[in-house]
Structure formats: C-alpha cells, structure tokens
Amino acid sequence: MPYVNIKITNEGATAEQKQELIAGVTNLLKDVLGKNPATTVVVIDEVSTDNWGIAGENVTSRRKKGL
Amino acid sequence: MPYVNIKITNEGATAEQKQELIAGVTNLLKDVLGKNPATTVVVIDEVSTDNWGIAGENVTSRRKKGL
Amino acid sequence: MPYVNIKITNEGATAEQKQELIAGVTNLLKDVLGKNPATTVVVIDEVSTDNWGIAGENVTSRRKKGL
Amino acid sequence: MPYVNIKITNEGATAEQKQELIAGVTNLLKDVLGKNPATTVVVIDEVSTDNWGIAGENVTSRRKKGL
Amino acid sequence: MPYVNIKITNEGATAEQKQELIAGVTNLLKDVLGKNPATTVVVIDEVSTDNWGIAGENVTSRRKKGL
Amino acid sequence: MPYVNIKITNEGATAEQKQELIAGVTNLLKDVLGKNPATTVVVIDEVSTDNWGIAGENVTSRRKKGL
C-alpha cells in the first residue's frame, strides 16, 4: 500500500529508465518491509530546470556553469 | 482551510469533470468537518501514464494489456 | 488508481469523520471519472495549528482571535 | 537540508521571478533557522487554472469573473 | 538532486529498515539515472492507519478483517 | 492562492521561528508575483531525523558524525 513520489529534473529520462525506477522502488519496499507490490503506487514528476533550485540557484543556471 | 491534492493519470479528464471533483471535495469537507469552502484549496495533477506505476509496472504497459 | 492527499489542521477530527472523507473521495472519483475504488488511495495529514499558515499568520494565533 | 515545494497557478511567472522565489526562500531558511543553502532544495509547480480550485470553483472560471 | 517521498502506514518500521529504504532509493537513482547521491534527498512519512484509505476503507478496519 | 509546503527536520524549531517562515514566504510571494496573502497557504512538516535521508544516510547518523 505504499505511495512513492520521485521528483527529478526534466532532462531526458526515457520511458525505460522510468520503468526501472518504478520496478526498483516497488521491489525495495517488498524486500525491506514486505509491502505488497499489487498496491504499491509510484508517481514520477519531471520538473523544468527553471523550476528546480538548489543552493539558492535554479538548475538551468547551474548547468550553464557545468554544475 | 484544507488543502487537497488529487493525482490522476492524464487520460482525458475534461475541465467539466475536474470542476466536479473540485466542487465535490470542497462540499465533502464542509459536510463532514464543517470546513469553510472559501479557503479550501484543491489542486489536481494529471500525470503521464509513463510516469505512474502500480504493481511495479507503468500504466502505459498496463493499458496495452487491457488492465 | 488515483492518489488523494487531504491536509487539515489537527483539531479533533474523529476516526469516523476521517473514514467519511476516505469513502466520500473514493466514491467521487468513481462517479466523476469511473476510477476503480480498489486502487484508489487516500492519505489524510493532520497538521499542528502552529505549522499551518494562512494570510501570513499561523492558525494558533488566528484561533485566539476567533478566526 | 530543507525541501520546499511552491505551487502557483500557471499564469506567466518568468524564469527571473521563479529564480527570485528560489533565492528568497533559501535565504529565509538560512536567516530564520540557520539552514545550509547548499542542501536546500526548492521545487516550483505551475498548475493549470483548470486544475486549481478555491471556494469550490476552478480558477479559470474565477478569472472570467474578475476574481 | 532528486527528491523522493515515501509514504507508508505507521506499523512498526524500524530505524534500520528505514535506513535501508534511504540507501536503496539513493542507489537506484544513481544506477538508473546517474544522479549524485550527495544531493539526493529521501523523506519517509509514516501515516496512522486511521488516516490511510484504500478501496474506500481505512487500514485500521482492513487490518481487523485480516486484509 | 499559492500553496507552499516546507519540510524540515524535527530539531527544535520554535513556534516563533515557524511563524517567521510563514510570514516570510507569504511576503515573498506577494513581492515577487503579486500573490494575495489572504489566500496564501503555508504548511510546515517537521520530520524525524530517522526519516530524512541525504547522501544515502539518515540524519540521525549524520548528526552523530557532526555533519
């Protein structure tokens, strides 16, 4: 019954990679806590680099600096 | 003053249907808990079927199987 | 498959009232969008009035003023 | 190490304004609680006015009424 | 830079199990998407079974039925 | 009408400090985007250090190391 929300910047993750995240997190919750995969929900949000900040600076600016 | 976030897959909900959700949840909170509609906020997120997983599988794949 | 998060202040909602919210939201999603109740998840967060602000003021202070 | 999520309606905030929000919130957490900016994360979600409700009505309708 | 929120019911997960979730999700994001562990944040919310609903029913009631 | 969620570790923020965050974020949204304070909602979540991870390690462990 767990619910997992993964937020990443929108920088080209493929459907296959996102499927790997969904399967990986679902398995982790089964292995560590015995949670039933049938009712484990995973939602991935892909966020514009203009809308994600760390260290007080958006990721668009950080990428231009090579960070 | 409640805040409600509804996440659904992005599969064609119309503006009218989303308005029904907004009105319905707001009324429910007034009826059950006496919450003031004037400050009840509802936010609906529509998520790509590639980005929503259940049972370890994304919804795009599940739809192809008729699930 | 929807996921709904309801945030309210922690001011004495009973288990029965919270069950009414869970059932009410689940029915609303079935009625409006045909969503399957079996995989509809509702999570209620009850938040301290010190930790909820509106109009720039926490709810603890607002309650003392009769707001 | 704080995480801040700001949700606003999608009504034309510029990248510069969003950068001001990111910098402003990060500074606020440093000034009030001594939080380290290097690990302060800010994520801004811009939500369609059809998908945001207040007082039981979506913002698209409210804007047409001048609200 | 990812942010992950894991919500589970409050049914006795130990600090060690929660640490396994934190390490496991962080590694998954590094392995699948090359994300830097140093800025990967994981937050676990443990929710009362009265406040978690699935299939229109809270988990407290479901546990009494052996579900 | 913005909604802001601030997540911090549960390490002794006072009601006065949390009120400063509420007022500060509300003012920031008014100053940068002209948002109406009357309908700006701020919710602060204080999270156990066992339940917050960064760099694959929970904050309880990090604090013991002086991080």
> Is B1's pLDDT higher than 90?
no
> Which string of b and e fits A17-55 if b means at least 16 CB within 10 Å?
ebbbbbbbbbbbbeebbebebebbbbbbbbbbbbbbbbb
Asked if D30 reaches chain F (Cβ–Cβ under 8 Å), the answer is: no
CA distance B8 to E16: 33
> Which string of b and e fits F3-26 if b means at least 16 CB within 10 Å?
bbbbbbbeeebeeeebbbbbbbbb
Asked if E9 and C43 touch (Cβ cutoff 8 Å), the reply is: no
Q: Which of E23, E40, E44 sits opposite F51 (nearest CB)?
A: E44
Say if the Cβ atoms of F54 and D39 lie within 8 Å.
yes
Fill in the amino acid letter for C31.
Answer: D
Res. E11 pLDDT band, cuts 50 70 90:
very high
DSSP string, E5-59: EEEEE-S---HHHHHHHHHHHHHHHHHHH---GGG-EEEEEEE-GGGEEETTEEH
- Total number of domains constituting chain F: 1
Residue E42: what pLDDT? 98
Residue B22: what pLDDT? 98
Structure-derived torsion over alpha carbons of residues F60, E10, E29, A44, reported in degrees to the nearest 10 = -140
Asked if F35 and F2 touch (Cβ cutoff 8 Å), the reply is: yes
Asked if C17 and B32 touch (Cβ cutoff 8 Å), the reply is: yes
CATH, residue B8: 3.30.429.10
Q: Could you tell me the residue range of the domain that residue F13 belongs to? A: 3-64
Give the tokens for residue E21. 């979730």
C3: which chain A residues are within 8 Å (Cβ-Cβ)?
3, 41, 43
CA distance F29 to F40: 8
* pLDDT (mean) for B57-64: 97
Residue D1: what pLDDT? 83
**Across-strand partners of F42?**
C53, F4
* pLDDT (mean) for D49-61: 98
A17: which chain E residues are within 8 Å (Cβ-Cβ)?
32-33
Give the tokens for residue A22. 């969904």
CA distance C27 to C30: 5
**ipTM of model:** 0.97
CA distance A59 to A65: 10
Q: What is the pLDDT of residues D26-47, one digit of tens each?
A: 999 999 999 999 999 999 999 9
Residue F1: what pLDDT? 83
C26: which chain E residues are within 8 Å (Cβ-Cβ)?
53, 55-56
- The residues near E12 (Cβ < 8 Å, ≥ 6 apart) are none
- The residues near A38 (Cβ < 8 Å, ≥ 6 apart) are B54, B55
> Is C53's pLDDT higher than 90?
yes
Best of A4, A6, A18, A22 to substitute, by most chain B Cβ atoms within 10 angstroms, is A22
F45: which chain C residues are within 8 Å (Cβ-Cβ)?
45, 47, 51
Q: What is the pLDDT of residues F8-34, one digit of tens each?
A: 999 999 999 999 999 999 999 999 999
Asked if D2 and F6 touch (Cβ cutoff 8 Å), the reply is: yes
Against chain B, the chains showing at least 3 CB pairs within 8 Å are A, C, D, F
Say if the Cβ atoms of C3 and A39 lie within 8 Å.
no
Quote the minimal CA–CA distance from D4 to chain E in Å: 11
Q: How far is CA A34 from the centre of its chain?
A: 22
* pLDDT (mean) for E26-49: 98
> Is E40's pLDDT higher than 90?
yes
Q: What is the pLDDT of residues A11-55, one digit of tens each?
A: 999 999 999 999 999 999 999 999 999 999 999 999 999 999 999
Say if the Cβ atoms of B21 and C1 lie within 8 Å.
no
* pLDDT (mean) for B20-32: 98
* Rg (alpha carbons) of chain C, rounded to whole number: 15
C2 is catalytic: yes
